[in-house]
Amino acid sequence: MLKNPLSTTTNNEALIFVALQAFRSFSRNPAFLAIMKRCSLTPVFNAYASSSSSNIKQSAADILTRIIDEHESHEFDRAMKSLDNDIELQNKKLEEPEEIVKMKAVKSTSKPKKNDSMEKITKWDEQKVRDFLIRQNLIVMISICDGINGEELYNLYHMCKTNSTLMYRSLKSELSKVHHGVLSISSYLHFVSRLSTVCDDDDAL
């Protein structure tokens, strides 16, 4: 039942909660925790971490904090912090005195915005998504993003921004189990960074 998150009907929620509570208790046992990690149960609990039931969501989140490899989580958090610092530094370099900004604004009132001549990511079809991934050297993500359009890619980006750690684990698991590939932290960060250049521009419009 736990392997089918879509079956969380009202009648099943109580049973699912009891099952998650049992896993939560077992995960406190080092021996059982090692078995849970070897069984690659992360995708199962990931699905319940976004449940509409607060009890189920909390139980799944507690389990995930235990079964996610501590070293990998540390490396991921460190990489994300480094990326945030780089973005902040880049933003500071782009900042200009208020007077210069105003002068440029006056001069550019009759000129179209940079994005006016560019198609929004939400308008991309599947081929444009694939072309974008190839141009940005995101070959490893092509199999995961196969068949999705620009709007779906845009939504995926915001899912990654909202819960970076869980999305990294989920995408890594899918790439490994379904497509037999490897998603490194650096590749994931590059994917998020490249998408930010097109998705955040759309948000600003």
Using CA atoms, how far apart are residues 41 and 135, in angstroms rounded to an integer?
34
132-160 tens-digit pLDDT: 999 999 999 999 999 999 999 999 999 99
The CB density around residue 164, as the number of other CB atoms within 10 Å, is: 18
The set of residues, in sequence order, having a beta carbon less than 8 Å from that of 129 and lying 6+ positions away, is: 145, 148, 149, 150, 153
Cα angle value 12/18/19 (rounded, 5°): 90
The CB density around residue 26, as the number of other CB atoms within 10 Å, is: 15
Least confident of 5-14, 57-66, 180-189: 5-14
- pTM above the 0.75 mark? no
> Could you tell me where the DSSP H helices lie in 117-184?
126-135, 150-162, 164-177
> Which of 19, 63, 12 has its CA nearest to residue 42?
63
The CB density around residue 133, as the number of other CB atoms within 10 Å, is: 21
| 16-30, 100-114, 168-182 — most confident range | 168-182
Using CA atoms, how far apart are residues 182 and 60, in angstroms rounded to an integer?
25
Confidence of residue 17 (pLDDT cuts 50, 70, 90): confident
> Which of 180, 200, 203, 202 has its CA nearest to residue 192?
200
